[in-house]
Copies of this chain bind each other. A is one copy, B any other.
Amino acid sequence: MAFSERVSRLKSSLIREILAAAQRPEVMSFAGGLPAEAMLPKVQWAEMPLSLGQYGMSEGETALREALAAEARALGLNCEASQVLVVSGSQQTLDLAAKLYIDKGTEILLEAPTYLAALQIFQLFGADCLTVPQEADGPNLAQLRSRLEQHHPAFIYLIPTFQNPSAVRYSEAKRAAVAALLDEFGVTLIEDEPYRELTFDGGSAKPIAARLKKTSWIYTGTVSKTLLPGLRVGYLIASADLFAHLLKLKQSADLHTNRIGQWQTLQWIGTEQYQQHLGQLRDFYRQRRDAFQSALERHFADLADWNMPQGGLFFWLTLKQPLDTRTLLNEALANDVAFMPGEPFFPEPDNHHGHLRLNFSHIDPVRLDEGLKRLAAVVRQANLENVA
């Protein structure tokens, strides 16, 4: 059996395995990143034109591209509809970017930690992953400069707003500083923004791509966290020099994004109805975040440190007594609790023990306290065993 060389880097997905294990209804899962089912909006299909059943354009539906460009301009991004490419979720943007930039051994620059599925696709294509440590307000700037002075990464991949997994939102100062550094060194930015709208304090966060003056950029978003993930509709907006390449790569990947989902998305983007829905979503998730914070304080105060997330879907815990959290999984699942170990969010997992990513949006509130109590007991037991 002669597979490609890249298949040797095709890892078994820990997320897939954990989510599969968490399918059992008795499992209390903090593992996934699923929106709460109660907050999926009731969508209508009756008005959809039959003609949308025909093949569509690889770029996406014209009206949707215009609506997305208008939203992006409101965020400060200097762009036209012609720079918008509708994709099948942000994950596809990462696949297209990997194809555009990564040969075996190509250096790229990432936050540490970073989004696990981004790491997987970049590594599949053979990237050599350099990292910058994430701090509470964004990347360590001295180390970012140092990496840029010593390397020429093909791009830097950043999730500046409520990062998955760390929940970090870059400060205004760091956004400006990162943009200036990327312009100075001419490094392309890939900015991934799935969680922008899930803000609990209303704080603004102008995209880094909107602050660039010279270098190339890809900005990517999705409706998966705010509307319906099952539609598989996301988008990228790219600087004009990159767009034609990304369009051809999209066409060769799957011709075009499903038009049914694009039509439904267009019914929402830019409407008052969508703003109302987003308001309800933020209230709902803020309450879940607050309840989670209280439960964490009850059960994890002596075990871990964390910052309270101001948006997004996750708490990121740092254990006071570091251990390889992957070793906790079996015992947790045996107690009907699922969580995401922190190690796979780093290119070098074995150098980054002791973090847990906990999703707060999807757990049934009546099971929250029991779930965290059991998870804390698993950690506590492991601490004892490690000491012994």
Contacts and interface: CB of A to CB of B under 8 A. Distances in A.
Nearest to A117: B252
A50 interface: yes
Nearest to A120: B252
A2 B42 CA distance: 45
A199 interface: no
A7 B125 CA distance: 13
Contact of A16 (B48, B50, B251): B251
B232 A255 contact: yes
Interface in A33-62: 34-35, 37, 40-43, 45-46, 48, 50-56, 58
Nearest to A255: B91
B232 A256 contact: yes
A261 interface: yes
A10 interface: yes
Nearest to A56: B230
Contacts of A230: 52-56, 258-260
A328 B230 CA distance: 45
A231 B53 contact: yes
Interface string A61-99: 000000000000000000000000001110110010001
Nearest to A10: B248
A240 to B, nearest CB: 13
B58 A34 contact: no
Contact of A37 (B6, B41, B54, B216): B54
A55 B229 contact: yes
A333 interface: no
B88 A258 contact: yes
Contact of A95 (B56, B152, B254): B254
Q: Which of A92, A216, A233, A260 has the most CB of B within 10 A?
A: A260
B95 A3 contact: no
Interface stretch (A101-109, A283-291, A302-310): A101-109
Contacts of A224: 55
Contact of A4 (B1, B53, B89, B102): B102
A54 B42 contact: no
Residue among A229, A252, A264 facing the most chain B CB atoms (10 A cut-off): A252
A42 B50 contact: yes
Nearest to A45: B45
Contacts of A89: 254-255
A103 B10 CA distance: 14
Contacts of A5: 103
Contacts of A264: 260
Nearest to A44: B45
Nearest to A102: B4
Contact of A40 (B54, B106, B231, B232): B54
Q: Which 5 A-B pairs have the closest CB atoms?
A: A53-B228, A45-B45, A230-B259, A232-B258, A88-B254
24 contacts: A2-B154, A3-B101, A3-B245, A4-B99, A4-B103, A4-B125, A7-B100, A12-B248, A13-B251, A34-B54, A42-B50, A45-B45, A45-B48, A53-B228, A54-B229, A88-B232, A91-B253, A92-B254, A95-B253, A117-B255, A120-B252, A121-B253, A232-B259, A260-B260
Given A53-B230, A232-B255, 16 more contacts: A3-B245, A4-B102, A13-B251, A16-B58, A34-B55, A43-B53, A46-B46, A54-B229, A54-B230, A87-B254, A89-B254, A91-B254, A92-B254, A230-B258, A258-B258, A260-B260
